[in-house]
Amino acid sequence: MNLTEYVCVICRRPLQVDRDDRLKCASCRVKFPASKGVQLLVKNSKDLIRLHQDQISHELSTLQTKVRQARTNKTPSDRRLLLDGIFAQKKNLILLKNLMRASNFSSTYRTPSKTKKKIWKDDQKGTYWRAQQLLPYFVRDWHQTREYKHTLKMFLGAIKSQKKMPRDKVAILASGASRLAYDLSAMYSSAYAVDNCVPAVLLVKEILSGKKIELLMNFPSDSYALKQQRIKIPAGQVKRRKNIQVIVADIHRLPFESDSLDTVITQYVLDIIPNHTLLFLEIHRVLKKGGVWINLGIPGFKNMADQNNHLNLSNILSEAGFKLQKKKLMLLPHLELYEFSRLYTTMTRATLFFVAEK
């Protein structure tokens, strides 16, 4: 019996290696899919795969309808603008679709489900991100924009200031484009990048294995496309690292043993999840005693009536068993891509940075 570093997200017993690199739980009898070294460790893996596949197909057919509408535009220059904008979105979606297709994940779900009319319900926003929404994050991270470098420095500074903290295991939760996970992996023995957006995680894996990716971005945005730009990812050379694992999991049900991580990192996620309490308890469970959680993001928790709830942070954290070590509220650019196009409008937002200890 070959046990792994992961635990079952249902019963929390250690998982075993099944066939290929798939894992299984001997006690629940659940098998977890894997593809090209990406483990999919969620309770309802089939639904999650289908959700993303259907979303991509749905979006592609919506764009097809938009193409037909655009062709009826009588002004040639407007027609061109519309069609170019749609083409860029389609190109990126096809990249994501092909990634899903090429993975083992899609083998059982080649045909989109006909039954579900509305694919992405509004109440699922936050919990399930469309992969195409994350593409600007890939550009920001893998091109190491000024914004990226600045926030990386804050995380590195916070980690280095923990003089007594071992640097064995770190998990980056809701890691998105995951460059932060890649850079932090240089400081730890093992790093885990965790996200539940399956196509985005597959894209991260491609980048980490040295594949060149090309995106076609609309500026200033998809819904107001004035200009397109080809952006190659990664811009620099990505050295392969064996100590970083990218996994698909729900951050509320992590596949890690209790008291097993030295550091947990979250960035731009606390403001989007429906209920912070569950997540706080889960982060507390997986951290070792004395381990630290470092967060940067938009202040405020979605499920609390008081918008200024971050001002009560030390109490909120202590209810989940944490001690607030450091807190800083500042103004930072968010998803600033104007290094690629002057058409991109910069959004400066109130940003909360904190370090909490278990």
176 in contact with ligand SAM (CB under 6 A)? yes
Check if the beta carbon of residue 140 is closer than 8 Å to that of residue 339: no
Partner that binds at residue 10, options Zn ion, ligand SAM, none, CB closer than 5 to 8 Å by kind: Zn ion
CB of 79 to ligand SAM, least distance (A): 34
| Distance between first and last Cα of the chain | 33
Other beta carbons within 10 angstroms of residue 321's beta carbon come to 16
The CA-CA-CA angle for residues 138, 126, 224, to 5°, reads 55
And the tokens for 77?
A: 């220059």
Q: With CB cut-offs between 5 and 8 Å by kind, which of ligand SAM, Zn ion, none does residue 134 bind? A: ligand SAM
Of 268 and 322, which has the nearer Cβ to ligand SAM? 268
Residues contributing to the site for Zn ion (CB under 5 A): 8, 10-11, 25, 27-28
Under the binding rule (CB under 6 A), the answer on residue 175 touching ligand SAM is: yes
* CA angle 180–314–153, rounded 5-degree value: 25
Place of tokens 């070590």: 325
Q: Which amino acid is at 70?
A: A
218 binds ligand SAM (CB under 6 A): no
Single-letter amino acid, residue 95: L
Taking the complex as a whole, the smallest distance from the CB of residue 197 to ligand SAM amounts, in Å, to 4
Minimal distance, residue 167 CB to ligand SAM, in Å: 20
Place of tokens 């945005």: 221
Given candidates 6, 129, 280, 353, which one binds ligand SAM under the rule CB under 6 A?
129
269 binds ligand SAM (CB under 6 A): yes
Q: Which residue is nearest to ligand SAM (CB)?
A: 176
Q: Which is nearer to ligand SAM, 199 or 291 (CB)?
A: 199
Whether a cis peptide bond, with omega within 30° of 0, leads into 234 is yes
CA angle, corner 149, sides to 147 and 152, nearest 5? 110
Among 155, 268, 293, 354, binds ligand SAM (CB under 6 A): 268
C-alpha–C-alpha distance, residues 44 and 50, integer Å: 10
CA neighbor of 355 nearest in space, from 222, 103, 158: 158
Span from 20-28, 124-132, 318-326, 343-351 in contact with ligand SAM (CB under 6 A): 124-132
Judged by CB under 6 A, does residue 252 bind ligand SAM?
yes
Residue 11's binding partner out of Zn ion, ligand SAM, none, with CB under 5 to 8 Å set by partner kind:
Zn ion
CA 172-173-174 angle, 5° bins: 120
Options 27-35, 51-59, 116-124, 190-198: segment touching ligand SAM (CB under 6 A): 190-198
d(Cα 40, Cα 37) in Å, to the nearest integer? Answer: 10
**Span near ligand SAM by CB under 6 A; candidates 129-137, 236-244, 315-323, 346-354:** 129-137
Residue ranges binding ligand SAM (CB under 6 A): 126-127, 129, 134, 137, 174-177, 195-197, 250-252, 267-269, 272-273
